[in-house]
Structure 1
Amino acid sequence: MIELGRVSLSFMKGTYETYIIVSGIIAENNTNYESKISYKQNKLVTQCTCKLWSAEKPCHHAASLLLKFIELQGKSNPQSLNPLGLSYISHEGVHVERYGTLVKAAPQLSGAKMNSTFSSLQYTLINRKVVNFPAPSRWKGKLSINLIPAIELQEYKDVLYVEDKYSYRFSLVDEENESKEISLFDVLYLFNWKTGEALDLPNEVRELVSKLKLTDVIGDIQDYIRIFLPLKEKGLANLSINGESWDTFPIEDMEYRFSINPSPRKSFLNLELELFTADQKLVPMPSPFLLFVSEQGWAGSFRTKNDALLFFKTLIEDFERETSFHKKYLHSASRKGIMSEWISLVSKDNEIPFFDPTFKKIFMLNTKTFRKVFLAFLDSFGELGFKTSFYFKEDRKIVFQVPKNNLLEGVAAFYQLLLPLKIPIFYDQQQIRTWKSTIRFERNKERLDWFQLDLVVSDEDLDVIRNAEITDNFLLSNKGLVLLSDEQKDVLRFMKRYTKFEGEKKDAGTKGLSKFGLSLQRSRIFELFELKRLGIDGALTQEEEDFCHNIMTMENMPVYEVDKRYDEIARPYQIAGYNWLRFLYEHQFGACLADDMGLGKTLQTIMLLQTLKDKLKKVLIICPVSILYNWKNELEKFSDLTWSIYYGDEREFKTDAQVILTSYGLMKKESFSTFAEEHFDILIFDEVQHLKNIRCLGANAARQIKAKFRICLTGTPVENDLSEFYNIMDLCVPGVWGDLGLVKSTSKNKNRLLARRTVKPFILRRTKDQVLKELPEKIENHVYLDFSQEEKEFYQQKLNAVRANMISSGSKRYGEVLKSLLEMRQLCLWQKQPQFQSTKIDFLMENLETLVTEGHKTLVFSQFTTYLDMIQNKIKVNGWKVARIDGSQTIKKRGEQVEYFQNGEAQIFLISLKAGGFGLNLTAASYIFLMDPWWNPAVERQAIDRAHRIGQENKLTVYRPIIKESVEEKVLVLQQSKRELFRDLMAEDDDEYFSGKLNMDDFQHLLS
Structure 2
Amino acid sequence: EVLDAEPDADDAALATSAVEDAALDGSTDWFGLSVVVTIDGRELPVAALLAALTAGDDHVMLDDGAWIDLARPGLDPLRRLVEEAARLVDPGTGEMRLSRWDLGTWQDLEASGAITAASARWRRSVAALGHLDEIAPPDVPTAIGARLRPYQTEGYQWLAALWTAGLGGILADDMGLGKTLQTLALIARARETGELAHPALVVAPTSVMAAWTGEARKFAPSLRVVVIDQTATKSGVPLARAVAGADVVVASYTLVRLDEASFTALEWSLLVLDEAQFVKNHTAKTYAVVRRLLARMRLVITGTPLENSLMDLWSLLSIAAPGLFPDPRRFQADIARPIESGDEPDRLALLHRRTRPLMLRRTKEQVAAELPPKQEFVVPVTLGRAHRRIYDRELAATRMRVLGLLDDSSRTHRIEILAALTRLRQLSLHPGLLDEADLAVGSEKIDSLAEQLHSLAQAGHRALVFSQFTGFLKLVRERLTAERIGWEYLDGRTRRREERVRAFKEGDATAFLISLKAGGFGLTLTEADYVFVLDPWWNPAAERQAIDRTHRIGQDKQVMVYRLVSADTIEEKVVELQQRKRELFDQVVGDEALSSGALTLDDIRGLLA
TM-score interval w.r.t. the shorter chain? 0.5 to 0.7
Residue 751 of structure 1 pairs with residue 331 of structure 2: no
Contact 1:578 1:607 in 2 (8 A): yes
Residue 773 of structure 1 pairs with residue 353 of structure 2: no
SS at match of 1:668: helix
TM-score, length of structure 1 as denominator length? 0.34
| Distance verdict in 2 for CA 1:724–1:843, change over 3 Å | same
Match of 1:295 in 2: none
Shift of 1:717: 2.2
Shift of 1:773: 1.0
Shift of 1:744: 4.0
Match of 1:466 in 2: 51
| Distance verdict in 2 for CA 1:777–1:490, change over 3 Å | farther
Shift of 1:896: 8.2
| Distance verdict in 2 for CA 1:622–1:432, change over 3 Å | farther
Q: Is the helix fraction higher in 1 or 2?
A: 2
Contact 2:532 2:561 in 1 (8 A): no
Structure 1 residues 782-836: Cα deviation after superposition (integer angstroms, max 9, x where no partner): 99xxxxxxxxxxxxxxxxxxxxxxxxxxxxxxxxxxxxxx99x999979xxxxx9
Residue 624 of structure 1 pairs with residue 212 of structure 2: no
Contact 2:486 2:510 in 1 (8 A): no
Q: 1:454-493 maps to which residues of 2 (within 5 A)? A: 454-457=34-37, 465-466=50-51, 490-493=80-83
Separation in 2, partners of 1:626, 1:928? 34
| Distance verdict in 2 for CA 1:434–1:629, change over 3 Å | farther
Letter in 2 for 1:661: V
Select which of 173, 176, 201 maps to 1:595.
Answer: 173
| Distance verdict in 2 for CA 1:576–1:906, change over 3 Å | closer
Structure 1 residues 853-898: Cα deviation after superposition (integer angstroms, max 9, x where no partner): xxxxx9x99579xx95xx65xx76x58599xxxxxxxxxxx99835
Q: 1:705-716 maps to which residues of 2 (within 5 A)? A: 705-716=293-304
Shift of 1:596: 2.6
Q: 1:59-458 maps to which residues of 2 (within 5 A)? A: 438=12, 440-443=14-17, 449=28, 450-457=30-37
Letter in 1 for 2:31: F
| Distance verdict in 2 for CA 1:480–1:574, change over 3 Å | same
Letter in 2 for 1:645: V
Match of 2:116 in 1: 538
SS at match of 2:325: coil
| Distance verdict in 2 for CA 1:698–1:925, change over 3 Å | farther
Aligned pairs, number = 406
Letter in 1 for 2:281: N
Query: What CA RMSD, in Å, does the superposition of the two structures yield over aligned residues?
Result: 5.3
Separation in 2, partners of 1:447, 1:908? 61
Match of 1:496 in 2: 86
Overall identity of the aligned pairs, in %: 23
Match of 1:678 in 2: 266
Structure 1 residues 246-286: Cα deviation after superposition (integer angstroms, max 9, x where no partner): xxxxxxxxxxxxxxxxxxxxxxxxxxxxxxxxxxxxxxxxx
Shift of 1:558: 3.4
Letter in 2 for 1:496: A
Match of 2:542 in 1: 905
Separation in 1, partners of 2:51, 2:312? 28
Separation in 1, partners of 2:139, 2:270? 19
Separation in 2, partners of 1:861, 1:765? 25
Separation in 1, partners of 2:174, 2:285? 27
Separation in 1, partners of 2:460, 2:276? 30
SS at match of 1:564: coil
Select which of 247, 256, 271 maps to 1:658.
Answer: 247
Contact 2:173 2:363 in 1 (8 A): yes
Separation in 1, partners of 2:166, 2:57? 41
Select which of 132, 141, 162 maps to 1:584.
Answer: 162
Letter in 1 for 2:85: M
Separation in 2, partners of 1:827, 1:736? 36
Shift of 1:624: 2.1
Match of 1:642 in 2: 224
Q: Which stretch of structure 1 is more off in the superposition, 478-487 or 542-551? A: 478-487
Shift of 1:535: 5.0
Letter in 2 for 1:753: A
| Distance verdict in 2 for CA 1:829–1:539, change over 3 Å | same
Letter in 1 for 2:259: E
Match of 1:733 in 2: 321
Structure 1 residues 352-385: Cα deviation after superposition (integer angstroms, max 9, x where no partner): xxxxxxxxxxxxxxxxxxxxxxxxxxxxxxxxxx
Separation in 1, partners of 2:330, 2:127? 27
| Distance verdict in 2 for CA 1:476–1:586, change over 3 Å | closer
Letter in 1 for 2:362: R
Letter in 2 for 1:728: L
Letter in 2 for 1:575: T
Residue 701 of structure 1 pairs with residue 289 of structure 2: yes
Shift of 1:694: 2.8
SS at match of 1:620: strand
TM-score, length of structure 2 as denominator length? 0.53
Letter in 2 for 1:926: H
Which 5+ residue runs of structure 1 have no aligned equivalent? 1-429, 505-516, 784-821, 831-835, 849-857, 883-893, 910-921, 930-940, 950-1008
Separation in 1, partners of 2:141, 2:181? 12
Separation in 2, partners of 1:758, 1:523? 9
Contact 1:443 1:453 in 2 (8 A): yes
Shift of 1:636: 0.4
| Distance verdict in 2 for CA 1:612–1:668, change over 3 Å | same
Q: Which stretch of structure 1 is more off in the superposition, 731-740 or 708-717? A: 731-740
Contact 1:645 1:662 in 2 (8 A): yes
Contact 1:453 1:539 in 2 (8 A): no
SS at match of 1:675: helix
Structure 1 residues 174-203: Cα deviation after superposition (integer angstroms, max 9, x where no partner): xxxxxxxxxxxxxxxxxxxxxxxxxxxxxx
Separation in 2, partners of 1:879, 1:725? 38
| Distance verdict in 2 for CA 1:436–1:497, change over 3 Å | farther
| Distance verdict in 2 for CA 1:948–1:468, change over 3 Å | farther
Q: Is the strand fraction higher in 1 or 2?
A: 1
Shift of 1:538: 3.1
Which 5+ residue runs of structure 2 have no aligned equivalent? 23-27, 38-42, 61-67, 340-345, 375-458, 463-480, 523-530, 564-609
Letter in 2 for 1:900: W
Contact 1:628 1:663 in 2 (8 A): yes
Separation in 2, partners of 1:717, 1:435? 47
| Distance verdict in 2 for CA 1:540–1:754, change over 3 Å | farther
Letter in 1 for 2:82: L
Contact 1:722 1:752 in 2 (8 A): no
| Distance verdict in 2 for CA 1:681–1:446, change over 3 Å | closer
Letter in 2 for 1:456: V
Residue 761 of structure 1 pairs with residue 357 of structure 2: yes
Letter in 2 for 1:628: M
Shift of 1:482: 7.2
